[in-house]
Amino acid sequence: MKVLSIQSAVAYGHVGNSAAVFPLQRIGVEVLPVYTVNFSNHTGYGAWRGPMISPDDVRDVITGIEERGAFPQIDVVLSGYQGGEGIADVILDAVARVKAANPAAVYACDPVMGNATSGCFVAPAIPVLLRDRVVPAADLITPNQFELGFLTDTTPDTLESTLASVDLIRATGPSTVLVTSVERPDREAGTIEMLAVDDAGAWIVQTPRLPIKANGSGDVTAALFTAHYRRTGDAADALARTTSSVFELLSLTHESGERELQLVEAQEHYAHPKLQFAARQVR
């Protein structure tokens, strides 16, 4: 499997491609990383150095990959955080060109815009751009519950309302949806869930909620679920594998006391997930 991953990159820590590439490689996926920024660290520190890469320069890198004849072998185009409006056009153009070369290729979009705790943390134009242009072009999306609400102008909280919101967004284009950070009032205390939905059904998985906020964990989640799902077409299996790997990654990070994901230390959990959390079919 080959993935063209168009995301940010940092030298210190793990977000964007700096979070997604290694776990994908560890499960045997060939990754072609294209960077949209090249920062010293993620912006959550409040200070960082390094350039945003202009959309034209990102497009040139992608064109160079195309000129090497790689597009017919690309199975997935993956995108995450979009720092500016111009990068969406570049991504959508790349998706169209890859699919022209390989009609079996899919576009997986992590529509990053915020979370229930912090609200939106992207430029005001980005959520609207994602909702109106980017998400409808995707085959697979991985919003958190907060982002799903914005994309559908709903307030998903119960399982039923979250499933209804997923149905609304699937009607706009994406056939497969992974909803992360699902919190519903009737769940067991001290837990958090993820929900996966495709044409075959809907599955939910529950894990203990760890007392940690780790930048980049969503990027790892989106990458692993996309790869597992693309490989097997089995949403329940992809959900169980991804949940196991990310839970162990977060557990190791919490135990380490470090702020940044212990991405390398957790590598065996990507390659050999314990599958300790069962995905339960809910539809």
What is the DSSP annotation of 95-136? HHHHHHH-TT-EEEE----EETTTEE-S-THHHHHIIIIIGG
Helix (H, G, I), strand (E, B) or coil at 177: strand
Q: Is the pTM of this model over 0.75?
A: yes
Question: Residue 116's pLDDT is what?
Answer: 67
pLDDT in tens, the chain (283 residues): 999 999 999 999 999 999 999 999 999 999 999 999 999 999 999 999 999 999 999 999 999 999 999 999 999 999 998 878 899 999 999 999 999 999 999 999 999 998 766 666 777 888 889 999 999 999 999 999 999 999 999 999 999 999 999 999 999 999 999 999 999 999 999 999 999 999 999 999 999 999 998 999 999 999 999 999 999 999 999 999 999 999 999 999 999 999 999 999 999 999 999 999 999 999 9
- What phi and psi, each to the nearest 5 degrees, are found at residue 36? -100, -25
The topology under which CATH files domain 2-281 is UDP-N-acetylmuramoyl-L-alanine:D-glutamate ligase (3.40.1190)
Q: How far apart are CA 1 and CA 212, in angstroms?
A: 32
Q: Which residues pair with 208 in a beta bridge?
A: 191
- Nearest 5°: the CA angle 68, 8, 93 is 50
Q: Which residues contact 268 (CB under 8 A, 6 or more apart)?
A: none
Q: What is the DSSP letter of 71?
A: G
Q: What backbone torsions phi and psi does residue 247 show, to the nearest 5 degrees?
A: -60, -45
Q: Where would I find the H helices in the chain?
A: 17-26, 55-67, 86-101, 125-129, 145-152, 159-170, 217-232, 235-256, 267-271
The count of residues in the chain is 283
- 14 CB-side CA count, 13 A: 24
For residue 177, give the nearest of 120, 233, 126, 235 by alpha carbon. 235
Could you tell me the residue ranges of all domains in the chain?
2-281
β-partners of residue 106 are 76
